[in-house]
A and B are shown apart, each in its own frame.
Chain A
Amino acid sequence: MSDILLSVENLEAWYGDAKVLHGLSFELKQGEVLALIGSNGAGKSTLFKSICGLLQKKTGRIAFKNEVITTLVANAIVAKGIALVPEGRKLFPSLSVEENLILGGNVGRKGPWSLQSIYNLFPILKEKRNAPSTSLSGGQQQMVAIGRGLMSNPDLILLDELSLGLAPIVIKDIYDMLPKIIGNGLTAILVEQDVTRALASSQQFLCIQEGRISLEGAPHAFTKDQISAAYFGM
């Protein structure tokens, strides 16, 4: 048995006629944290949508736990153990904090995460559990979004721009929690605008530029200049 959890081969993806991903290939080992970096519009969120099944117009091969999931729909893929914490949080405004979390566990996968363990991780959410999710601060909303993703007890979690629109101090708080979130051997892909922070939190990184991989490897194997060249395409 290989310890490859996710393998993506020659992935191409479209929005309508516009091709956004141009043949991406990479592998992710069990327990690894992969930083996915690249400038705005490079295709990071599109890669996430392709993996978790929200984007159907794609070719190539995506395998998860040695099973091909390329053609599965999103509601089937979450049941297989891939959770997405979407860019912009995307909480359900009609649901309370606790209902958002409960819905995250809707697929009924067993594992370490439950309402109780989420509340232990983010005690403020327990205090606000009956509040509408829209009444929370940005940082608290991000905690709900992370908690909602964890509630499905995923084997792989995709974290898309956790820091979007948050104050630096709040971002620091969230990142301080990261080891607890992915500490249980959870495999993760982390998209982050702040490259230094992303690289510091991961063992591997992947830089994409206009839908193609421009650099990949271990963060310390490259100089800052090499990475920023791959990032900006200079």
Chain B
Amino acid sequence: MIWVNIIIQGILVGGLYALFAAGLSLIFGVMRLVNIAHGDFIVAAAFLAWVVVQATGLNPLLSLIIVVPLAMAFGYALQKWILNSTLGKDILPPLLVTFGLSVILQNGLLEVFTADSRKLNAGVIETASFPVLPGVAIGYLPLLQFIVAVAVIWGLQYLFYNTALGRAFRATSDDSETALLMGLDQRKVYAWAMALCMGVVAIAGVFLGVRSNFDPFMGPGRLIFGFEAVIIGGLGNLWGTLIGGVILGVSQAIGAQINPGWQVLAGHLVFLLVLAVRPKGLFPRIDG
């Protein structure tokens, strides 16, 4: 029974990792950009939610109503004013610029919020749970987090394959020059993609902050988890990203059960194993 419990908890944590990863996956799929600062944006979103909660007294989960639109507007502007000018045939400039952003964000957050760790307090939902089997209880918060992750992935998937914006994303990703002939300005399309990505980042940041303490230097670790989930699941496949998150979560839970120090290590090992056996991930995108 203890292993059933571990696997269930691992799956639920996997939802959070999928939230870390979904934005990365989206951005890579649309514009082949690897955002080194992705994890720092997640942490920054947690701080933003903290500020909103301090100012309004809202429950952090409800603060998303404010944090998500702010993050989306920021993402649009970031892409439009900074990242678009780094995109081209050479993949190095966007890597360098997002690495620079990562450093700036960490130090900016340190300057404003100090190195103290903080937490978002969501109230009783954090500890409440319901039993499903003897010795196995599911917490409302991890469950909610997982449901939100599935909903986000489903929403992105729907948007990608059933809306005009999704069509623009796919067409621009296929061939940005021919997309111009359809009247699609790739810079605008990319800005919308980054806006969406940052909306998901905001959700991920709030769940991160409700689940555990956070401080300005947590970003790179979250980037690694997100990155591993994307690669395990297969690049450019959003449902694969969800499964990648779940595999990572379960691996970490099992590792932690064997030896508490092995939690993160077990995730890395499974990641390396997948990379060695299936370099394109478990569920790579089929078409070109």
Chain A interfacial positions (CB closer than 8 Å to B): 52-54, 73-75, 78-79, 83-84, 86, 90, 92-95, 99, 102-104, 106-107, 132, 134, 148, 152
Contact = CB atoms under 8 A, between A and B. Distances in A.
Interface string B162-177: 0010011011011101
B178 A86 contact: yes
B287 A92 contact: no
Given A75-B185, A78-B183, A132-B287, A103 B177 contact: no
B123 interface: no
B170 A95 contact: yes
A84 B181 CA distance: 7
**Size category of the binding interface on chain B:** 10 to 19
Given A75-B183, A75-B184, 16 more contacts: A52-B181, A54-B180, A75-B181, A79-B183, A84-B181, A92-B170, A94-B170, A94-B173, A94-B287, A99-B167, A103-B168, A103-B179, A103-B182, A106-B182, A148-B182, A152-B183
Contacts of A79: 183
Contacts of A73: 180, 185
A92 B183 contact: no
A75 B172 CA distance: 12
B171 A95 contact: yes
A107 B182 contact: yes
Given A106-B184, A107-B183, A90 B178 contact: yes
A99 B171 CA distance: 10
A92 B178 contact: yes
A100 to B, nearest CB: 8
B288 interface: yes
Given A75-B185, A132-B287, A95 B180 contact: no
Nearest to B185: A75
26 contacts: A53-B180, A54-B177, A54-B181, A74-B177, A75-B181, A78-B181, A78-B182, A78-B183, A84-B181, A86-B178, A90-B178, A92-B171, A92-B174, A92-B178, A93-B174, A93-B288, A94-B170, A94-B287, A95-B167, A95-B171, A103-B167, A104-B182, A106-B184, A134-B287, A148-B182, A152-B182
Q: Which of A52, A75, A78, A94 has the most CB of B within 10 A?
A: A94
Contacts of A106: 164, 168, 182-184
Contacts of A95: 167, 170-171, 174
A66 to B, nearest CB: 22
A75 B180 CA distance: 5
B180 to A, nearest CB: 4
A95 B287 CA distance: 11
Given A90-B175, A95-B174, A74 B181 contact: yes
Contacts of A53: 180
A79 B185 CA distance: 12
B175 to A, nearest CB: 6
A107 B180 CA distance: 11
